[in-house]
Structure 1
Amino acid sequence: MSIDGKWDCITKTPMGDQKSVLTLTTNGNTFTGVNAGAMGSMDIEEGQIDGNTLTWKMEMKVPMPMTLKGTATIDGDTLTGSVNAGAFGNMAMTGTKQA
C-alpha cells in the first residue's frame, strides 16, 4: 500500500464542505506533506503511520489560528478519517487518491 501522492479530500466543517488536495510523502513510518485548499495551504507536521492509520497535525492560520489534529485510515485508494479542531470538535474527512 502506498499513500504517497495526491489525495482529493473533502472536510465537513462548520463553514461547509472544504475541498483540498492532500499531498503525502512517506519516509518509513513517518510522512510529510501539504494540505492545500481554498483557505490556503497547511504543512503536515508529526505525520505518523501505524499500519493503515495515519495521524498528523496542521497549523491553521485562516480564518483563525488553531492546531488541527488529523487521523485517517487508508483502504486502497480511499481515505476516511477526521480532523479535530479543538473547541469545534471532530470534522469528518474523506478522500480519494488521484490516479
Structure 2
Amino acid sequence: MANVDGSWNTVAKTPMGDQAAVLTVSSNGDSFTGTFSGAMGNTEVKDGKVDGDRLTFAIDITVPMPMTLTGDVTVDGDSMNGTVTAGAFGAFPLTGTRA
C-alpha cells in the first residue's frame, strides 16, 4: 500500500481558473478521513476510500454554488494526479504534491 497520509498541496484546473487547496489524508485500512481547505472554504472529506495508491472521495462545497465534488487520484511517491468531478460541469485535472 502506498503512503497516502499527510497534507497535499493540490491544484484543480477549472473553468474558474486554478483552484488551490490543501487536502489532508489520514488513512485507516481501506478508508480515510481528512479535510479540503482552500480559498473556496474548508470542508470535511466524505466517503474517503483507499485502494492501494488510489484515493476516491467526495467533498461538499458552497462556493460558488452548493454541490458535491468527487475526487479520484493516484498517489505516486510525493505527487498525486487525477480528476475532480463537479457534477454536470464535468471533470477537471487535479494534481498535488506532498506538503
Give the TM-score, by structure 1 length: 0.95
Separation in 2 of the partners of 1:77 and 1:37? 20
The residue number in structure 2 matching 1:60 is 61
Separation in 2 of the partners of 1:60 and 1:91? 16
The answer for unaligned runs of 5 or more in structure 1 is none
Separation in 1 of the partners of 2:78 and 2:44? 22
The answer for unaligned runs of 5 or more in structure 2 is none
1:21 matches 2:22: yes
RMSD: 0.8
Separation in 2 of the partners of 1:61 and 1:27? 28
Q: Secondary structure at the match of 2:34?
A: strand
Alignment of 1:4-83 (within 5 A): 4-83=5-84
What is the count of residue pairs matched by the alignment?
Answer: 98
Instruction: Tell me, yes or no, if the aligned pair for 2:4 and 2:53 is still in contact at 8 Å.
Output: no
Q: CA deviation at 1:21?
A: 0.7
Counterpart residue type for residue 90 of structure 2: G
Separation in 2 of the partners of 1:13 and 1:35? 16
Identity of aligned residues (%): 50
Q: Secondary structure at the match of 2:88?
A: helix
Instruction: Tell me, yes or no, if the aligned pair for 2:30 and 2:51 is still in contact at 8 Å.
Output: yes
Give the TM-score, by structure 2 length: 0.95
Q: CA deviation at 1:73?
A: 0.3
Separation in 2 of the partners of 1:43 and 1:63? 17
